[in-house]
Amino acid sequence: MKKTVSLIFLLLFTHMFSYEFNYEKKMVNYDYNKLKSINLKLDKKLVYTSGGVLAGSFLLDETIRRVVKKNKNSFSDNYFETMNIFGGDYAILLLMGTYGSSILTQDEKLRKTSFTSIESLTVAGTLTLGVKMLLGRARPYMDKGAFEFKSILNFGTDYWAFPSGHSTVAWAIFTPYAEEYSKWIYIIPASVSLARVYKDRHWSSDVIAGGLIGFSVGYILHKWNNNIKFTGNGIKIEF
């Protein structure tokens, strides 16, 4: 079975990299130019609400951790253990497999959505990693409290709590699919975020911050790329 799967992936990626990726190059160029020219007009109400929720979650971090630790059971253990993988390497492999299959099947809608997801993951993941390294927040299992920040540019992963990388990855990857296909898909990243708190890897504020980064980047890129239409002769941008 493993040999068969390995062979399929080998054939898939061999076929993928024989492409010139003209669609993808134009999408990246479009998003880059859009970013340069955009005039950011933030919704003050949304900013205040998001900031208030995040600030409030910091104050509730210790309480939420205690409540979660007291209410664990076998069903929750199994569910969150399963969902946790959708915020790590498995999710990235699933994304690349979906992207590759869209090329093989010439499904342009899936191809655009998958590549948007790849863009989202790259941007959101970079942002989250940078914040993790700068703030150096202790993970809950270190038992140092919710307000323990070690140092700037700390490279120890025990102090990479804020924001949650798994939450960022999950929301960044699945948001474009949820917006394009079904809002029910949001159950996956939501479950990943809950799993990180349940497994005592993150504070609640960590997963909220990671989720906000992943969702925001994925949502914006999806909206931008809705202007891009695949045609029989190439790619068309509509305004």
Residue 33 structure tokens: 């130019």
Beta bridge partners of 230: 235
Sorting pLDDT into bands at 50, 70 and 90, what band is 28?
low
pTM of the model: 0.81
Q: Is 238 helix (H, G, I), strand (E, B) or coil?
A: coil
Tokens 């919710």 sit on residue: 146
Separation CA 201–CA 62 (nearest Å): 13
Q: Is 122 helix (H, G, I), strand (E, B) or coil?
A: helix
| Percent of the chain whose predicted confidence (pLDDT) is above 70 | 73
- Report which DSSP code applies to 117: H
Q: State in Å, rounded, how far the first CA of the chain is from the last one.
A: 47
Beta bridge partners of 231: 234
| Percent of the chain whose predicted confidence (pLDDT) is above 90 | 44
Q: pLDDT at residue 205 above 80?
A: yes
Separation CA 30–CA 223 (nearest Å): 12
| Ranges 49-58, 99-108, 230-239, most confident | 99-108
